Amino acid sequence: MTNTQISESATPQDGPGADAGSLAIVCGGGTLPMAVAEAASRRGRRVVLFPVRGWADPAAVERYPHHWIGLVQAGRLVRLARAEGCRDVVFIGSAVRPSVLDLRLDWLTLRSLPALYRSYRGGDDHLLTTIVRVCEEHGFRVLGAHEVAPDILVPAGSIGSLSPAPRDLADIARGLALLRAIGPFDVGQAVVVADNHVLAVEGAEGTDGMLARIADLRARGRVATPVGVGVLIKAPKPDQDRRVDLPAIGPTTVTEAARAGLAGVAVAAGSAIVAEPADVAKAADAARVFVYGFDDRPPQ
């Protein structure tokens, strides 16, 4: 991409490296935000973190310039990101759906409140979409984490030494079809299918909570399939804004899947994120489960 093109239309369609300047990373929980910060730094980008209070890891963010923000403190984010010379913003990390009472609203947020309230009622998707729109209205370009750090996208094929068996591939296909069917309802992005039987659909409890439930059901004799059968399937919703909420896996996902007695973890290649792929491969081999990136393009 040439400079000419950039000056002609500085829109989100421009490549992520097209614009010099600092990158604002709004950090949720987990290890992903730091993996993205490191990958962007390696590419020569100055990074400023905006860790969200209650979610981000205080020790980890110390390594970069950072400003703590409350969730939905859009005014503080906009002001500080501008002062830091950021034009691009990335939202990344796990987000626990907050109690409305825990939200620290500031003035800009209050002005957006009717829209935020409507989006809050409509599910997580809409909440994030609204925050993205507020940032865009204030001149920022919101990028997907994978655009500033493409190496965090799950590749096609196996991570680690094990691969899915034909039965696992059938479970993956069924799980993906189920995820497509529930897509319009803004439920979770993950299901567990064991030998063609749907064991669980992710709801407000999140992926780790769902896997812990299966481990618990299994301990009480409530799971009919033997240990080593069944797959955790994760894929983005069909009409998801891929800049803000791509499904993600990490070493914990792998160890929790093993504890739930599953054969492996399957995620949409190219549209799911893996923090610390080397650690994920190590965890997968140690737990004797597969981690597999499948092609999730809808059937033509």
Choose, by CB under 8 A, the member of 56, 187, 266, 291 that binds a second copy: 187
Complex with a second copy: residue 6 or 182, whichever CB lies closer: 182
Complex with a second copy: residue 102 or 295, whichever CB lies closer: 102
Choose, by CB under 8 A, the member of 59, 99, 299, 300 that binds a second copy: 99
CB of 122 to a second copy, least distance (A): 6
Half-sphere exposure of 247 (CA within 13 A, CB side): 30
d(CA 32, CA 288): 24
E strand or H helix that includes residue 169:
helix 166-182
Which of 116, 110, 114, 138 has its CA nearest to residue 129? 116
> Which residues between 118 and 157 bind a second copy (CB under 8 A)?
120-124
Please give the C-alpha separations between residue 14 and each of 86, 138, 141, in angstroms, as whole numbers.
Answer: 16, 18, 10
Q: Which residue has the tokens 């981690």?
A: 291
Complex with a second copy: residue 193 or 280, whichever CB lies closer: 193
Provide CB contacts within 8 A for 159, sequence distance 6+.
Answer: 274, 277, 280, 281, 284, 291, 292, 293
> Which residues between 210 and 229 bind a second copy (CB under 8 A)?
213-214, 217, 221-224, 226
d(CA 193, CA 294): 15
Which residue stretch of 22-30, 86-94, 132-140, 178-186 sits at the interface with a second copy (rule: CB under 8 A)?
178-186
Instruction: Verify binding: residue 185, a second copy, rule CB under 8 A.
Output: yes
Choose, by CB under 8 A, the member of 111, 182, 208, 259 that binds a second copy: 182
> Which residues between 57 and 86 bind a second copy (CB under 8 A)?
none
CB of 286 to a second copy, least distance (A): 27
